[in-house]
């Protein structure tokens, strides 16, 4: 079929996701836009009620629990007509794939996207995949693909992505971002963005910052969580903003972004958002964030305060041309993590002509 064929002729695409919590609402919108570039119509279904403003055009099953796959499958069957087979079903996370398999719906091709490690750790999941020869499993990073290949031979890599134009348009200027975070301009600002939870190791970020002893620098925690009290100890160079809605809009308030979540990150969405904003990112040299940043990242070898301190000194002392760095970062995002990149990967899997962009 040619690219002029419309969605009705090609067959629809079904996209399933357990919920619309970050980053899944935005990610599903990106997939839908990528499919439109290929001339395909996408129906998106979230199982849980909307977290905030519902995704426009999406179907919500408003399920109170995600534990009963058969009940979810019945709800899915009731909400969707079945006059024909979907050309493609995209199932984000294990639960979506399990529900689709339990439903009466069919697809010529099914891609189950693993957004985390250990997708097949449970015995029942290993058993289910043994009787499925039609599903293609996709990991959101090469490291997740390697993990999947312990159980299935054919895996592909479909990284998370962003709507570049939309995200760039939403970014605040440096002065606007500083004002939103209630920060005075001036100091070299290192930001840690996300929930202040032990999994993210924010205390390690604080230790690394103190060990670096950077002159004229401050550390800003953008987020809230159970560790906030430990991080707020009266240090004039350490600030906690508390929860900030759409914190990614404020990245230009930062001179560097610090990630200390280590090797638990299957992808590293914050690293991608920092790259899109043209902000240097400091992180551990592990799969996930390092795959995103490539040679644009500032790395430390292990989760150690002294290692982090050395990386912070490197980014603090680097002679970074903001325009050059921002241009190279944007090129990388457009090439690998944009709507067009998603469309290209879907086209490859479905043997379609990739969109001309």
pLDDT tens by residue, 198-240: 988 999 999 999 999 999 999 999 999 999 999 988 788 999 9
Mean pLDDT of the chain: 91
The residue that leads in pLDDT, 319 or 57, is: 57
Contact call for residues 47 and 66 (beta carbons, < 8 A) = yes
pLDDT at residue 124 greater than cutoff 70: no
Which pLDDT band, with edges at 50, 70 and 90, does 32 fall under?
A: very high
pLDDT for residue 299 is more than 60? yes
Q: In whole angstroms, how large is the CA radius of gyration of the chain? A: 21
> Tell me, what's the pLDDT at 310?
98
| Residue 265 banded pLDDT, cuts 50, 70, 90 | confident
Q: Report pLDDT for 112.
A: 96
Question: What is residue 288's predicted lDDT score, i.e. its pLDDT?
Answer: 85
Residue 226: the pLDDT is 94
pLDDT tens profile 78-91: 999 876 689 999 99
The pLDDT of residue 153: 80
Has residue 132 got a pLDDT over 80?
no
Q: What is the pTM of this model?
A: 0.91
What structural domains and CATH numbers belong to the chain? 7-161+338-350 (3.40.50.2000), 164-335 (3.40.50.2000)
Q: How far is CA 191 from CA 104, 197, 258, 318, 333, in A?
A: 48, 16, 6, 17, 21
Lowest-pLDDT range of 153-157, 177-181, 304-308: 153-157
What pLDDT score does 10 carry? Answer: 46
State the pLDDT confidence band at 9, using cuts at 50, 70 and 90.
very low
């Amino acid at each position: 079929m040619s690219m002029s064929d419309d969605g009705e002729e090609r067959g629809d695409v079904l996209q399933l996701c357990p919920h619309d919590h970050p980053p899944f609402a935005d990610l599903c919108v990106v997939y839908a836009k990528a499919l439109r570039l290929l001339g395909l119509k996408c129906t998106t279904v979230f199982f849980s009620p909307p977290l905030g403003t519902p995704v426009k055009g999406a179907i919500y099953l408003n399920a109170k629990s995600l534990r009963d796959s058969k009940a979810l499958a019945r709800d899915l069957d009731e909400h969707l007509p079945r006059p024909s087979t979907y050309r493609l079903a995209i199932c984000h996370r294990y639960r979506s794939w399990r529900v689709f398999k339990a439903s009466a719906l069919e697809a010529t091709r099914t891609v189950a996207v693993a957004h985390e490690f250990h997708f097949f750790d449970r015995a029942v999941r290993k058993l289910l995949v043994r009787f499925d020869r039609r599903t293609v499993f996709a990991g959101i990073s090469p490291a997740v693909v390697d993990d999947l290949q312990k159980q299935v031979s054919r895996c592909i890599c479909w990284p998370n992505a962003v709507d570049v134009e939309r995200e760039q348009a939403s970014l605040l200027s440096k002065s606007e971002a500083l004002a939103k975070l209630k920060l005075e301009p001036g100091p070299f600002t290192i930001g840690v963005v996300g929930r202040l939870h032990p999994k993210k190791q924010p205390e390690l970020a604080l230790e690394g910052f103190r060990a670096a002893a950077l002159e004229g620098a401050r550390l800003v925690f953008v987020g809230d969580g159970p560790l906030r009290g430990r991080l707020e100890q009266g240090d004039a160079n350490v600030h906690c903003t508390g929860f900030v809605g759409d914190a990614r809009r404020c990245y230009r308030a930062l001179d560097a972004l610090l990630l200390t979540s280590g090797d638990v990150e299957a992808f590293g969405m914050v690293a991608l958002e920092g790259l899109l904003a043209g902000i240097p990112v400091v992180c551990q040299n592990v799969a996930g964030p390092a795959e995103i940043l490539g040679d644009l990242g500032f790395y430390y070898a292990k989760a150690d305060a002294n290692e982090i301190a050395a990386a912070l000194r490197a980014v603090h002392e680097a002679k970074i041309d903001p325009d050059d760095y921002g241009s190279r970062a944007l090129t990388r995002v457009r090439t690998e993590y944009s709507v067009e990149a998603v469309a290209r990967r879907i086209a490859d899997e479905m043997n379609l002509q990739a969109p001309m962009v």
